[in-house]
Amino acid sequence: MKRLYRNGRIATDSSSEPLKCDVLIEDVRIIGVAETIESVDGCEVIDCSGSVIVPALFDLNVHIRELGREDREDITSCSEAAINGGFTGMVLQSDTNPAIDTGSAVQGVLDTCRDKSRIWQGVYTAGAITKGGSGEELAAIAAMKSKGAVFLSEAGDPVINPQLLRRAMEYARQFDLPVATHGEVKELSGKGSMHEGAYSYSLGLQGIPAISEEIGIARDVRLAEFCGVHLHVQQVSTREGMSTVLRAKERGIRVTCEVSPHHLIFNHSHIGNYDTHYKVNPPLRTEEDSVALLEGLRNGWIDVVACDHSPRTEFEKNQDFASAPFGVTGLETALPSLHHHFIKPGHFGWDVIVNRYSTGPRKFLSIPPVTIKEGHLAEFVVFNPNATVRFAREYLRSKSINTPFLNQTLSGQVERVIFRGAELLVR
């Protein structure tokens, strides 16, 4: 079975503008990429005029909720949300209930994915740093590694005790497991629910100061340097936090970091009238921070984009701002929102998407990037920049709708998702 994607333009890691190309696939693989490919008998032809063919995306930071909170999300709904947004791979975070903190838990979640996910070959899992994510005892690091955990992470929480984190890093290093942390000093964040600044003051909400993140990242970077482990800083939200990572890189420390679409697009002013769809941790910072993060993403100081997909029920989010939980969903909105806010106005090109949201995350895990070249697996997205998308309830495949983009219309739509040759989504 052959399929020809004709008249599209291919996004690559080296050009901000996509290049006109036809792509021919047979079964699971790409068998031809050229400016013009003639159709052959029995070949299905798909007209991609005006569309961009993007190597499928990969997200390093997805909160799955199965086991424990399947009312928010389960493996099937999360995978379908991923496909709906143009992702064919992701790393699940360890904060399920019970947590993914043993070899059998890693095995269990991967087995469930095999049964319930259409992209299971692209789904990986992180393992907790401490048992139950409680910050008290080391989790079964070797056993998790042997069953396939790709890095260690305490999901959205910092490891409060630096000695325990040091031991985890020393131990993880011998297995060459990266350690991902959320840079935060809990005592400085207190019960804060948004960035500490002029808006938290006028809304009368306790703030989470920028120094909570800055000092947290600085501590973790220094520990990682001391232990010689690869540190991945999750969800950088401040200019100073990013600078700390950059300075560490310049000193040759093995450190990478990620930024979310929402921290690039929104800032604390968007919370407006206590809209809990803008309550995230780390919190939305200042406009200056967002601008700095955007610059960092363009310059490669930030290694990857990751959306921190965190489903919450409508009931959970429909509370006063301080009581509502942190988190937004992101898999379905990430690519259209980055297109709408950055690619279309010319802030960055398609190479940034390919490098930071497709190749970069896979490189971090040492898995082969999905490249649109002859002989590679056919794993790409047909994205129509001229269409619009409205994130209505019916459009979203996630069980949860806690996204600031709910009912917003953005420019650009994921029209097809091809995974190992199969069309998982045709809109």
Partner 1 sequence: MKPRKDLLDIASLTDEEIEFVLSNAVPFKDLFKRSVKKVPTLRGRSVLTLFYEPSTRTRSSFEVAANRLSADVTNFDVESSSVVKGESVVDTVETLEAMRVDYIVVRHKQSGTPNLIARSTRASVINAGDGWHAHPTQALLDAFTLREKLKDIRGARVVIVGDIQHSRVARSTSLLLRRLGAQVAYLAPGSLMPRDLPPDVTTFHSWDDVLTNFRPDVVYLLRVQMERQGEQFFPSLGEYHKLFGLTDARLQVLRERKLWLMHPGPVNRGVEITDAGMNYERSLINEQVENGIAVRMSVLYWLRPGAE
Q: What residues act catalytically?
A: 308
Core vs surface per residue 344-376: b (16+ CB within 10 A) or e: eeebbbbbbbbbbbbbbbbbbeeeebbbbeeeb
Q: Could you say which of 197, 282, 361, 404 contacts partner 1 (CB under 8 A)?
A: 197
All residues at 6 or more sequence positions from 421 whose CB lies less than 8 Å from its CB, including other chains = 3, 25, 26, 27, 28, 29, 377, 378
- Distance CA(351)–CA(12), nearest Å, equals 6
Of 147-155, 217-225, 312-320, 397-405, the window that binds partner 1 (rule: CB under 8 A) is 312-320
- Distance CA(235)–CA(237), nearest Å, equals 6
Least Cβ distance, residue 210 to partner 1 (angstroms): 11
Number of residues that bind partner 1 (CB under 8 A): 21
Q: Could you say which of 28, 322, 365, 367 contacts partner 1 (CB under 8 A)?
A: 322
Per-residue tokens: 257: 């970091």
DSSP string, 47-88: E-TT-EEEEPEEEEEE---TTT-TTT--HHHHHHHHHHHTEE
- Distance CA(8)–CA(30), nearest Å, equals 15
Q: Could you say which of 74, 95, 154, 196 contacts partner 1 (CB under 8 A)?
A: 196
Binding mask 268-297 for partner 1 (x = CB under 8 A): -----xx-----------------------
Of 116-124, 141-149, 191-199, 236-244, the window that binds partner 1 (rule: CB under 8 A) is 191-199
Q: Could you say which of 319, 386, 388, 407 contacts partner 1 (CB under 8 A)?
A: 319
Question: Do the strands 304-305 and 255-259 form a parallel or antiparallel pair, or are they unpaired?
Answer: parallel
* 190 in contact with partner 1 (CB under 8 A): yes
* 407 in contact with partner 1 (CB under 8 A): no
Least Cβ distance, residue 319 to partner 1 (angstroms): 7
Interacting positions 217-276 with partner 1 (CB under 8 A): 273-274
* 315 in contact with partner 1 (CB under 8 A): yes
* 36 in contact with partner 1 (CB under 8 A): no
Q: Could you say which of 111, 137, 176, 320 contacts partner 1 (CB under 8 A)?
A: 320
- By C-beta, is 143 or 322 nearer to partner 1? 322
Strand, coil or helix: 236: coil
- By C-beta, is 121 or 313 nearer to partner 1? 313
- Distance CA(395)–CA(386), nearest Å, equals 18
Q: Determine how many CB atoms are found less than 10 A away from the CB of residue 392.
A: 12
- Distance CA(122)–CA(75), nearest Å, equals 13
Is residue 285 within 8 A of residue 372, CB to CB? The reply is: no
* 422 in contact with partner 1 (CB under 8 A): no
Q: Could you say which of 39, 161, 201, 300 contacts partner 1 (CB under 8 A)?
A: 201
* Binding positions for partner 1, rule: CB under 8 A: 190-191, 196-198, 200-206, 273-274, 315, 318-323
